[in-house]
Amino acid sequence: MARHNELGKKGEDLAVTYLLKKGYEILEQNYRYQKAEIDIIAKKNDILAVVEVKTRSTNVFGNPQDFVKPKQILNLVKAVNAYIETYDMDVEVRFDIIAIIKKAPSFTIEHIEDAFYYF
């Protein structure tokens, strides 16, 4: 596995652990719909959190959350709409980003709730 893929996988594992500690139920990981992949779909109370995990080895080139692009957001919206229809859910949807930066020997984790809106 390529080094960046290993870092990304480690970031997703850290994000899942973080969300579980915060009381979220993890419904899906790496949910795919057409060209989209949702890293984590989690639920807490009646809120469905669509979580994009961005992991970087450094923030020299910008914060991880700055790398979520408009086309990716559009694909996430399409994917979560399909997920909600498939499972006939009646929930409020929130789009979050978990930004992780490797700070040897550990990681910093920032959970940005309502990171973006889609109308």
Q: What is the mean pLDDT of the chain?
A: 88
Residue 119 above 50 pLDDT?
A: no
**What stretch of H or E contains 102?**
strand 92-103
Which residue from 82, 109, 86, 72 is spatially nearest to 95, judged by alpha carbons? 72
What gap in Å lies between CA 46 and CA 55, rounded to an integer? 27
**What stretch of H or E contains 83?**
helix 70-86
What domains are there in the chain, each with its CATH number?
A: 3-112 (3.40.1350.10)
- Judge if pTM exceeds 0.75: yes
What gap in Å lies between CA 100 and CA 109, rounded to an integer? 5
Q: How many residues does the chain have?
A: 119
> What pLDDT digit, counting tens, does each position of 32-68 carry?
999 899 999 999 998 999 999 998 876 656 666 766 7
